[in-house]
Chains A and B, each alone.
Chain A
Amino acid sequence: MTQPATAAQKEAPTSATKSTGGQEGSRRLGLRWDMRSLSLLAVLAVLVAVGGITAPDEFLATSNLQLVLTQASVIGVVTVGMTFVITSGGIDLSVGAIVALASVWATTVATQEFGFAGILFTAVIVGVGCGLVNGLLIAYGRMVPFIATLAMLASARGLALQITDGSTQIVTVGSVLDLGARDAYVLGIPPLVLIFAAVTVIGWLLLNRTTFGRRTVAVGGNAEAARLAGIDVRRQRLYLYLLSGLCCGIAAFMLIVLAGSGQNTNGNLYELDAIAAAIIGGTLLSGGRGTILGSVLGVLVFTTITNIFALNNLETAVQQIAKGAIIVAAVLVQRRSMHGDA
């Protein structure tokens, strides 16, 4: 230890009390970035207005709010994990396939014999296991994330098909099914929505308040600088794909509760939905910036669009066209508000 550092440490508490005040938090770049992503709130407000006008009775009902949040919760949990990976400059194309694999593995006859705990445990372990393989290939096998997770996508889907032989595995464990029933709502909030909320809060804290989050941002912002600053970039990458896999495992369990079954087609195109939600939420595809709040808003925007379309009985073709248009519009709004800020 040399003097300057010791001095810095010694004086730290004093200067902290001196110079920090209430405005400290709001001046942080991280939170400001979150504020930017809140421009999506405007998009969401417009959608709510459209929903309220076109289908006033159905859209504004409590039951519809519960429905939208429930529908958002599975893909929402996946998107939280994806946000971390994208923030670190990576990509995880295998999330949908991992959800499928975890959901079928957790609903085999053998697994179901172990009841609620068996299903939950298996779903999470399979998710984490796939994430571990992704992480090892990318961090230590030095594979490009796009390729490694693409390979995982193919293999996990294949394995899911192998396990099910194409059939639908119905869940017979009552306690799992009950979790999706109306009786299980806590103060009117479906348990799946509670899980989603918990994952969101933990994800936000992890990204914005921990060394793990800061290192994620550093690796994504400038991996070489992070390495030269003494950060173990590879280990960080391993953890990130593990985290994404964990989120997929949790999502798979939620999907089992929601659909009452496991099927190899589960999680179809989740990778694209999760990436799209994170990006319109304001996470930079190039890495270095991520916002959990934005991602969650992105998911809610997509789910609300689907909901409004269904309530108005629009055709699939129209839905798809409109979804594309809204992605472009949301990103343009976002871009404008960012430029205004910078």
Chain B
Amino acid sequence: MSLTVAEVRHIANLARLQLTPEEERRYAQQLSSILESAARLLEVDTAQISPTATVLPLQAPLRPDIPRPCPPREKMLSNAPDTEAGMFRVPPVLE
């Protein structure tokens, strides 16, 4: 299994990561060797095996639906790089 630079560029875009051309080359090589080392996994016969998403026996535990106070707005905005009128401020989303 080997990844091309074009595939790396596609994955990086899906993951919202801007890469330099040098990073694209290096990740193509490194991700390919990691995937190659995982190849033996693909040979295991798992036709009869169900997947494990969690090790816990819990089945979506329920709790009473009781309202509780939210943290104050200023506190939740205090780490934001930019705010306006009590909201997060971002650059234009649409053209």
**A, B in one complex:** no
Which residues on B are within 8 Å of A, measured CB to CB? none
Which residues on A are within 8 Å of B, measured CB to CB? none
